[in-house]
Amino acid sequence: MPGHYCARGKMKRHAVVALFLLISSVCFTQVKPEQIDAIFRPLTDDQSPGLSVGVIHDGKLVFARGYGLANVAQRTPITPDTDFRLASVTKQFTAMSIMLLVHDGKLRYDDSLTKIFPEFPPYGKDITVRQLLNHTSGLKDYGELYVKQVGEQTPMDKVPQILDKGVLQLLEQQTTTDFPPGSKWMYSNSGYAVLAMIVEKASGKPFGDFLHDRIFKPLHMDKTVAFEKGKNEVPNRAFGYRKDKKTGEIAFADQSPTSAVLGDGGIYTSVKEMAKWDKALREHKLLSEAEMSEAFTPVQVEGGVKFEDGKELAYGFGWFLNPYKGHEREWHDGGTMGFLTTIQRFPKDGLTVVVLSNRMDLDPGEQALKVADLYLK
């Protein structure tokens, strides 16, 4: 069959024959770089924003390539070292931060919001850290709350950026949740902004510093940052763009009023750096396999886990967990002003695909799965 091969042969020694037959029972898919390149090459050109692609197979970064421009005005090309805003792919790092603090004995998954923040309104006593992690807290959407606070008629470029601390303050002004905590699943950026503040409270460090000290530095993710304007800079930074619906022209669109919130989406990194993250997960460099199992255990709620389109899903701590074509999968997409991203991990197949884009008219998740299809035949 094209694209596949199976070892076959004869050897004299019985022990060797047995070993050879064992090996020969496994078929390996051969994927050539040009097959992957053919998926992404048509999506952009050398005059437009684009994307960066990383494919890790059997622990090796077997494909890493950039397409298009990181900075259109300066004609800076995208490379595998270009740093993109991860958007919601950040959530797995926020979840890992919480898990590290549980490992340290500074938090418990069943701790309530009011235990951690005694000044939080009474409704917080029914919300646990675990529910924040798996999106069953029922917290109100901070984006909607912020729009109401600043006024719907305020031009976006006049709205100051809200920070994680501001999200917590908005939620402290509420008196109830959208549904009883633990009773259903609803994707919550609010929950992950609050988790960032819990990391600060439990660790005594700013969230960005905790990420650096406990995750990025130990894993040698030296070019990865939780970006805070005025505090740090993003190396090899990609800027975000969108396509004007009327003219079809590419327009600069790098930040929104919520782009400074760290816990739900503020990390910048590259596909090369994400390969280090993937290796750490595979080799359990930060937490043991038993400890990590919490992140990869789907939450069970009445009505199941469904996204806006009604599609059945599964979710753990910062990871979607529903399989793909019968293959076990750990994945997450990200989307924010100017950026769309995805990580698709197939742990039992030894395959991970990362696609980071600085334009909003592509579908990194769809394209990443086209790459996966090349391997998972």
CATH of the domain at 334: 3.40.710.10
What is the overall mean pLDDT for the chain? 92
pLDDT number for residue 339: 98
Predicted pLDDT of residue 150 = 87
218 and 337 fall within a common domain: yes
pLDDT band at 214 (very low <50, low <70, confident <90, very high): very high
What's the rounded mean pLDDT across residues 220-243?
97
In a shared domain, residues 195 and 286? yes
Nearest CA-CA partner of 88 in 313, 340, 328: 340
> What three-state secondary structure class fits 286?
coil
**How does DSSP assign 344-362, residue by residue?**
EEEGGGTEEEEEEESSSSS
pLDDT at 24: 35
Mean pLDDT of the region 90-108: 98
> What is the mean predicted confidence (pLDDT) over 234-255?
93
Is the C-alpha dihedral spanning 370, 372, 374, 377 positive or negative?
Answer: negative
Q: Residue 338 — left, alpha, or beta (φ > 0 → left; ψ -120 to 50 → alpha)?
A: left
Query: From residue 366, how far is each of 17, 31, 270, 322 by CA, in Å?
Result: 42, 18, 19, 15
What average pLDDT does range 344-358 have in this prediction? Answer: 98
**Residues 133 and 7 reside in one and the same domain:** no
Instruction: Please give the single-letter amino acid code of residue 15.
Output: A
User: Which are the contacts of 148, defined by CB distance < 8 A and separation ≥ 6?
Assistant: none
Residue 25 predicted with pLDDT over 70: no
- Using one digit for the tens of pLDDT, what is the confidence trace for 181-193? 999 999 999 999 9
d(CA 85, CA 266): 7
pLDDT for residue 22: 41
What gap in Å lies between CA 276 and CA 70, rounded to an integer? 22
Q: What is the DSSP letter of 78?
A: P
- Shared domain for 3 and 133, answered yes or no, is no
State the pLDDT at residue 264. Answer: 98
Phi, psi (5° rounding) for residue 85? -70, 125
Are 23 and 147 found together in one domain?
no
Same domain as 349, residue 314:
yes
* Phi, psi of 275, deg, nearest 5: -65, -35
Query: Which residue from 357, 345, 342, 334 is spatially nearest to 66, judged by alpha carbons?
Result: 357
Instruction: Write the DSSP assignment of 217-276 as a string of letters.
Output: TTTT-TT-EE--TTT---TTBPPPEEE-TTT--EEE----TTTT--TTT-EEE-HHHHHH
How many helical (H) and strand (E) elements, i.e. helices and strands, does the chain have? 12, 16
- Same domain for 181 and 259: yes
Between CA 293 and CA 347 the distance in angstroms is 13
pLDDT at residue 246, as a whole number: 84
How many domains are there within the chain? Answer: 2
Residues 208-221, mean pLDDT to the nearest whole number: 98
Is the same domain home to 195 and 137? yes
Q: Are residues 23 and 73 in the same domain?
A: no
Residue 377 has pLDDT above 90, yes or no: no
Summarize pLDDT for 298-336 with one digit per residue, the tens. Answer: 999 988 898 877 788 999 999 999 999 999 999 999 999
Residue 175 scores a pLDDT above 80: yes
pLDDT digits over 58-70, tens only? 999 999 999 999 9
Same domain, 85 and 202: yes
- Tell me the average pLDDT across 28-56: 94
Domain extent for 142: 31-375
Q: For residue range 125-143, what is the model confidence (pLDDT) as tens digits?
A: 999 999 999 999 999 999 9
Q: In this predicted structure, what is the pLDDT of residue 21?
A: 37
First to last CA, the chain: 11
Q: How many CB atoms lie within 10 A of CB 140?
A: 17
Does 17 lie in the same domain as 109? Answer: no
Predicted pLDDT of residue 29: 62
**Stretch 17-30: mean pLDDT:** 45
pLDDT at residue 177 tops 70: yes
Of residues 329 and 154, more confidence is placed in 329
306, with CB counted inside 10 A (0-12, 13-18, 19+), is middle
DSSP letters, 125-179, are: GG-BHHHHHTT-S-PPPHHHHHHHHH-TTS-GGGSPPP-HHHHHHHHHT----SS
248 and 285 both lie in a single domain: yes
Per-residue pLDDT for 16 more than 60? no
